[in-house]
Amino acid sequence: MSTPEQYRPKTLLVTGAAGFIMSHVVDEALRRYPQCRVIVLDVMDYCATTKNLEAAIATGRCHLVRGDVCNMDLVMHVLETELPDTIIHGAAASHVDLSFKNSLRFTRSNVLGTHVMLEAMRKHNHERGAHGHDVRRFIYIGTDEVYGSVDEQCHERSLKQPTNPYSASKAAASSICNAYMRSYGMPIIETRGNNTIGPRQYPEKLIPKFVTLIMQGKAVPIHGEGDQKRSLIDVEDCARAILTVLERGVIHEVYNIEAGMEMTVTGITEKLLSVMGVPQEAWSAHVTYVRDRDFNDKRYFIDGSKLRALGFKARVGLDESLRRIVDWYRVHTNYWPNSERALVAHPELTDHMC
């Protein structure tokens, strides 16, 4: 079943948009769709902040609902009062390190949360569809990590082989999406993207963590040998990719999102040190190699040709993206006031993260 050539949302519900990626999706949506109204549903976890939404809320076309996607009564209330025609479900617990320490929390957020969103949409469409208030697009934001650690390039029909609690929870949520497509005909499209980098990201992930530590004059902790390969995409490109899928994607299909920027963790670190102006002879003083994760995937490698066929092309190269990130964190040194505990090699889930 094909979508219209250029689908345009009128009322867009975005979950998790006080966080990193989805806040950029909201900004891009407000820019692209001048007549569109945006509702953000976010539980305001440790890695979310209203500062990420200040520009969006200032437009007068976006407002924030604080609440949990696992709360069926709340989600139903939002659907019934706001009547969105489109949902982008990006709310998720996403830090792999933390998933090893508290896997049940990831199952609740990622599996139950997605199931609640899908079931609420099913009920809402059954009750409201006859009146023209049904949800016409549901974009589930997945991850390339569901394919597991691979050597061969994965396409959208490749086997899902998750290796850690985070990716397993995302694969499980993906399977529930597939069931709702097949059982109920729900209008779902899934994306599976590379590691996304850019401004406004909580500094638990590699690049913002390393930028913060280097600015503080501290050594960055590289897990294991640092030979793990990671594919990266700038957050502006990621947001454009998600909205390209929304506009032109085919319902019941999956789209990989990649930008062709692959490097080892050590290579990323060296490039970052260079961008930050650290002399090469001083690099070793800024790096320490630490115990690896309990299990660390060696490579995520996906084929994004299906998305490129819709007209998407990444615009931001790695050097430019890293420069933007460094410039932003140098200016916004107090953006994340409770981030010190996230800057260690193996962070724990602490009270301020609950």
Q: Convert the pLDDT of each residue in 8-66 to its tens digit.
A: 999 999 999 999 999 999 999 999 999 999 999 999 999 999 999 999 999 999 999 99
- Condensed to tens digits (0 to 9), the pLDDT of residues 183-193 reads 999 999 999 99
- Condensed to tens digits (0 to 9), the pLDDT of residues 122-167 reads 999 998 876 778 999 999 999 999 999 998 999 999 999 999 999 9
Check whether 2 has a pLDDT greater than 80: no
Radius of gyration of the chain measured on its C-alpha atoms: 20
Domain segments of the chain as ranges: 11-201+234-261+297-316
Where in the sequence numbering do the catalytic residues fall?
Answer: 144-145, 166
Check whether 352 has a pLDDT greater than 90: no
- First-to-last C-alpha distance (Å) of the chain: 41
- Condensed to tens digits (0 to 9), the pLDDT of residues 290-329 reads 999 888 899 999 999 999 999 999 999 999 999 999 999 9
Chain-centroid distance of CA 206 in Å reads: 14
User: Residue 258: how many CB atoms within 10 A of its CB?
Assistant: 27
Q: What are phi and psi of 253, to 5 degrees?
A: -110, 165
pTM: 0.95
CA-wise closest residue to 207 among 232, 225, 229, 227: 232
* Dist CA 270 CA 278 (whole Å): 9
- Condensed to tens digits (0 to 9), the pLDDT of residues 163-186 reads 999 999 999 999 999 999 999 999
What is the pLDDT, as a whole number, of residue 351?
Answer: 44
Q: Which fold has domain 11-201+234-261+297-316?
A: Rossmann fold (3.40.50)
* Dist CA 157 CA 94 (whole Å): 23
